[in-house]
Amino acid sequence: MSANSVRLHRVLRTSPERLYRAFLDAQALAKWLPPHGFTCQVHHLEARVGGSYRMSFTNFSTGNGHAFGGTYVELDPHRRIRYTDRFEDPGLPGEMQTTITLAPVSCGTDLQILQEGLPPAIPVEQCYLGWQESLLQLAQLVEADIPD
């Protein structure tokens, strides 16, 4: 793993199927992915290998935002998602790659995330902090079992 990478690991009380869906459903992503203090708009999401997505985060306090998008490289239902990410801001050049790995365990799903190729302008610890906040919100979404 390079210096411009982050790796995260969680065990969530949910099924791999539900967790997989949370990574590919536009409304779910808009709810859990933006770190604290940000909103998210998903402009386009085509969840298929070779399909693309585009979204933007907006700082709720300042109104400033940034857009990014990429392509789905691998979709192995309920097991693995791999996609590229590229910021539209020319000050954040390069392409990142994110790999999501899901595995059933006795109490839910083992979730592993590897994000590689972070632009040098983004401190790794800032990215890690953002992911931690997002994963808290993800857990709240997928672990809730609300009857109809």
pLDDT band of residue 122 (cuts 50, 70, 90) is confident
Report the C-alpha gap between 94 and 91 in whole angstroms: 10
Tell me the pTM.
0.93
Domain 5-143 has CATH 3.30.530.20: yes
Domain ranges of the chain: 5-143
Which amino acid is present at 125?
E
**pLDDT of 86 above 90:** yes
Tokens at residue 70, please? 């990429």
Model pLDDT, residue 2: 64
Model pLDDT, residue 91: 84
> Is the alpha carbon torsion for 44, 46, 47, 50 positive or negative?
negative
Q: Do residues 71 and 95 touch, judged by C-beta distance below 8 A?
A: no
Rounded percentage of the chain residues whose pLDDT exceeds 70:
99
Per-residue pLDDT averaged across 14-18, rounded?
Answer: 98
In 3D space, the residue among 7, 19, 24 whose CA is nearest the CA of residue 141 turns out to be 19
Opening angle at CA 135, ends 137 and 27, nearest 5:
55
| Distance set, CA 130 to CA 16, 48, 134, 136 (Å) | 23, 26, 6, 10
Report the C-alpha gap between 123 and 6 in whole angstroms: 10
Q: Which helix (H) or strand (E) holds 127?
A: helix 124-143
